[in-house]
């Protein structure tokens, strides 16, 4: 009788450890799938997107967004930097393939039409004259919101679609910045 009690106790303990191991493996696989294919956290290292995003902000990027659709003007996008694909950058889509973009006399023009000052731009933004630049198909013209302090398509050219990682959707840290990215 003692022997059967002891074996039952070992079986119960082994079952608990086996259940825990299975749960941990399932959680790790789910986390890997979610991070690799759906949502990925990113860290903002520079002031190039102020006042939308600040250095030290941590954001969630929707990796699935552009598998189901194309980036649109105004989207905030994380991508591999064209001059060094081992680095990630974040900028706003200003123009899409087929558009012509330029700045003259501190006014941004898309397809020859002056663009109203966007609400997300900080006060005092000054555009240096550039362009016109014709954006090739499957490419995007990217600019930081802090346009006076941003290395963007004005410096390194248009962004090829295949370098896009996903759409920035949410600031989750620090707590006083939590919210959707507009």
Set 91, 150, 153, 167: catalytic member: 91
In 3-state terms the chain splits into helix, strand, coil percentages (rounded to 5) of 30, 30, 35
Neighbours of 95 (CB within 10 A): 26
Set 4, 36, 48, 119: catalytic member: 48
> Is residue 48 annotated as a catalytic residue, yes or no?
yes
Closest by CA to 106, choosing from 165, 56, 148, is 148
Beta strands in 12-158 (DSSP E): 39-43, 58-62, 76-80, 88-96, 100-104, 107-110, 113-114, 130-134, 139-143
| The Cα angle at residue 75 between residues 172 and 34, in degrees rounded to 5 | 50
Tell me phi and psi for residue 20, to 5 degrees. -65, -45
Pull the structure tokens for residue 164. Answer: 């896009």
> Is residue 162 annotated as a catalytic residue, yes or no?
no
The helix/strand/coil state of 153 is helix
| 118 contacts: CB under 8 Å, gap ≥ 6 | 74
Active-site residue list: 48, 91
């Amino acid at each position: 009788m003692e022997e059967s009690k002891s074996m039952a106790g070992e079986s119960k303990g082994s079952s608990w450890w086996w259940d825990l191991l299975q749960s941990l493996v399932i959680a790790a696989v789910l986390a890997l799938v979610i991070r690799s294919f759906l949502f990925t956290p990113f860290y903002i290292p520079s002031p190039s997107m102020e006042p939308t995003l600040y250095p030290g902000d941590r954001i969630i990027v929707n990796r699935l967004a552009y598998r189901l659709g194309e980036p649109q003007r105004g989207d905030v996008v994380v991508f591999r930097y064209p001059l060094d694909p081992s680095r990630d950058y974040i900028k706003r889509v200003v123009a899409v393939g087929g558009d012509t973009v330029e700045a003259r006399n501190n006014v941004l023009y898309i397809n020859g039409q002056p663009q109203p000052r966007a609400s997300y731009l900080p006060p005092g933004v000054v555009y240096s004259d550039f362009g016109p630049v014709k954006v090739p198909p499957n490419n995007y013209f990217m600019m930081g919101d802090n346009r006076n302090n941003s290395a963007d398509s004005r410096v390194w050219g248009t962004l090829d679609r295949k370098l896009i990682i996903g759409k920035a959707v949410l600031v989750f840290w620090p707590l006083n910045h939590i919210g959707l990215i507009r």
